[in-house]
């Protein structure tokens, strides 16, 4: 059903995007078309990655998911960086973190909690993820912020590059830990083994083809999307910060949002939590540092220095997530708390 809608949007949206950008349609209209089309395309990319992951087996599959999971966001960000929109990229990274931790997890917990009184998830995974959230968001993002206060531009960039490399190495180490050395170690303790036979939706060839075509389309549209930001910001009275944090983040993560909520409704809370927090870690430990490194080859380099409101929003979101998730249980009220936090931040960034 949803797949059909996304297919229709794709087959209408891609041509419209091409035509519209050539005909110089009004920016607001183009902005809307681009956003919708990217959301639809990213659902294709998600399904293709999923199929490939099943074909490739759990280890390579996990690696595929971990690298291609945030491909759309990465692509939009690279084009935004090329257009010199460093502030928008940092804002969209912030938006992804907040969106995943507060909006995705909040909706999952809340909607899942309306159906089930108490939902449980693997507390070992949650704690493993808590540690990484503290490492990535609180430690690795705060240090450059504070240290750069008394540093010049070059030192700040050097520190950012150093931290980025360490973040990526630790991200790879985390994959090694999860997929190889400690695979399944923490699962047998409180879960019945459920080896559902998973059959890929598409064959290897089709999946690669879909992935390639969708990626090219996303890239093409993203390049045009970032140039509409300025006009949209002006016309709606939004700051570029707000566009980055709310709009880009939602467009870049819409597919994940939908599937996390779906899992919560099916009481598969482990997967819902994994999508929300795993995706946050992907952004913080892989996408963000990769963008810092990529930016070195672009005219405007991007240090890993967020604005203070962005940083504080991310830190408090992480602390709230940890406080709510360390008991391995969720209910509708925990979801409401996360959503309330998201609304507070939305108001804040809107007014900023």
Based on the shown chain and the rule CB under 8 A, indicate whether residue 336 belongs to the binding site for a copy of itself: yes
Q: Which of 35, 90, 104, 324 binds a copy of itself (CB under 8 A)?
A: 324
Q: Which of 3, 29, 203, 333 binds a copy of itself (CB under 8 A)?
A: 333
Q: Which of 55, 151, 213, 219 binds a copy of itself (CB under 8 A)?
A: 151
Based on the shown chain and the rule CB under 8 A, indicate whether residue 23 belongs to the binding site for a copy of itself: no
Tokens of 345: 């931040």
- Of the candidate spans 17-25, 263-271, 293-301, 311-319, the one that interacts with a copy of itself by CB under 8 A turns out to be 311-319
Q: Which of 56, 142, 262, 271 binds a copy of itself (CB under 8 A)?
A: 142
Based on the shown chain and the rule CB under 8 A, indicate whether residue 294 belongs to the binding site for a copy of itself: no
- Of the candidate spans 29-37, 42-50, 151-159, 287-295, the one that interacts with a copy of itself by CB under 8 A turns out to be 151-159
Based on the shown chain and the rule CB under 8 A, indicate whether residue 198 belongs to the binding site for a copy of itself: no
Q: Which residues 96-135 are close enough to bind a copy of itself by CB under 8 A? A: 117-118, 124, 127, 130-135
Residue closer to a copy of itself (CB basis): 25 or 332: 332
Q: Rounded to a whole number, what is the distance in angstroms from the first to the last CA of the chain?
A: 39
Residue closer to a copy of itself (CB basis): 177 or 238: 177
- In the bound complex, what is the minimum distance in angstroms from residue 24's beta carbon to a copy of itself? 35
Q: How many residues bind a copy of itself (CB under 8 A)?
A: 63
Question: Strand 119-120 and strand 329-330: pairing?
Answer: antiparallel
Residue closer to a copy of itself (CB basis): 206 or 319: 319
Q: Which residues 166-195 are close enough to bind a copy of itself by CB under 8 A? A: 166, 169-170, 173-174, 177, 181-182, 185
Based on the shown chain and the rule CB under 8 A, indicate whether residue 337 belongs to the binding site for a copy of itself: yes
Residue closer to a copy of itself (CB basis): 1 or 149: 149
- Of the candidate spans 19-27, 39-47, 149-157, 266-274, the one that interacts with a copy of itself by CB under 8 A turns out to be 149-157
- Of the candidate spans 85-93, 214-222, 272-280, 335-343, the one that interacts with a copy of itself by CB under 8 A turns out to be 335-343
SS (H, E, C) the chain: CHHHHHHHHHHHHHHHHHHHHHHCCCHHHHHHHHHHHHHHHHHHHHHHHHHHHHHHHHHHHHHHHHHHCCHHHHHHHHHHHHCCCHHHHHHHHHHHHHHHHHHHHHHHHHHHHHHCCCEECCHHHHHHHHHHHHHHHHHHHHHHHHHHHHCCHHHHHHHHHHHHHHHHHHHHHHHHHHHHHCCCCCCCCCCCCCCCCCCCCCCHHHHHHHHHHHHHHHHHHHHHHHHHHHHHHHHHCCCHHHHHHHHHHHHHHHHHHHHHHHHHHCCCHHHHHHHHHHHHHHHHHHHHHHHHHHHCCCCCCCCCCCCHHHHHHHHHHHHHHHHHHCCCEECHHHHHHHHHHHHHHHHHHHHC
Based on the shown chain and the rule CB under 8 A, indicate whether residue 251 belongs to the binding site for a copy of itself: no
Residue recorded with tokens 């966001």: 73
Based on the shown chain and the rule CB under 8 A, indicate whether residue 245 belongs to the binding site for a copy of itself: no
Residue closer to a copy of itself (CB basis): 79 or 306: 306
What is the C-alpha separation between 243 and 92, in angstroms, rounded?
8
Residue closer to a copy of itself (CB basis): 213 or 312: 312
* Interacting residues with a copy of itself (CB under 8 A): 117-118, 124, 127, 130-135, 138-140, 142-144, 146-147, 149-151, 155, 158-159, 162-163, 166, 169-170, 173-174, 177, 181-182, 185, 308-309, 312-313, 316-317, 319-320, 322-324, 326-327, 331-334, 336-337, 340-341, 343-345, 347-348, 351-352
């Amino acid at each position: 059903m949803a797949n059909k809608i996304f297919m229709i949007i794709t087959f209408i949206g891609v041509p419209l995007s091409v035509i519209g950008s050539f005909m110089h349609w009004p920016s607001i209209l183009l902005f809307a078309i681009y956003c919708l089309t990217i959301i639809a395309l990213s659902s294709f990319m998600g399904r293709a990655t999923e199929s490939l992951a099943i074909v490739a087996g759990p280890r390579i599959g996990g690696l595929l998911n971990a690298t291609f999971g945030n491909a759309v966001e990465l692509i939009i960000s690279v084009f935004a960086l090329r257009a010199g929109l460093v502030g928008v990229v940092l804002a969209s990274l912030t938006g992804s973190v907040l969106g995943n931790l507060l909006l995705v997890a909040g909706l999952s917990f809340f909607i899942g909690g309306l159906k089930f009184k108490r939902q449980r998830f693997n507390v070992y995974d949650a704690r493993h993820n808590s540690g990484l959230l503290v490492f990535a968001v609180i430690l690795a993002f705060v240090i450059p912020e504070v240290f750069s206060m008394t540093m010049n531009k070059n030192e700040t960039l050097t520190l950012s590059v150093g931290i980025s490399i360490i973040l990526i190495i630790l991200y790879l180490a985390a994959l090694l830990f999860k997929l190889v050395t400690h695979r399944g170690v923490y699962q047998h303790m409180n879960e019945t083994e459920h080896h559902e036979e998973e059959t890929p939706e598409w064959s290897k060839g089709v999946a690669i083809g879909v992935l390639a075509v969708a990626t090219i389309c996303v890239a093409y549209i993203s390049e045009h999307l970032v140039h509409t930001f300025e006009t949209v910001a002006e016309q709606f009275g939004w700051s570029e910060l707000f566009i980055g944090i709310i709009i880009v983040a939602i467009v870049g993560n819409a597919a994940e949002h939908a599937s996390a909520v779906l899992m919560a409704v099916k009481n598969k809370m482990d997967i819902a939590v994994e999508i929300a927090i795993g995706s946050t870690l992907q952004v913080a430990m892989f996408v963000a540092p990769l963008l810092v490194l990529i930016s070195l080859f672009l005219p405007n380099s991007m240090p890993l220095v967020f604005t203070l409101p962005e940083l504080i929003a991310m830190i408090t979101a992480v602390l709230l997530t940890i406080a709510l998730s360390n008991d391995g249980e969720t209910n509708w009220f925990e979801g409401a708390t996360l959503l309330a936090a998201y609304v507070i931040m939305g108001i804040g960034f809107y007014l900023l």
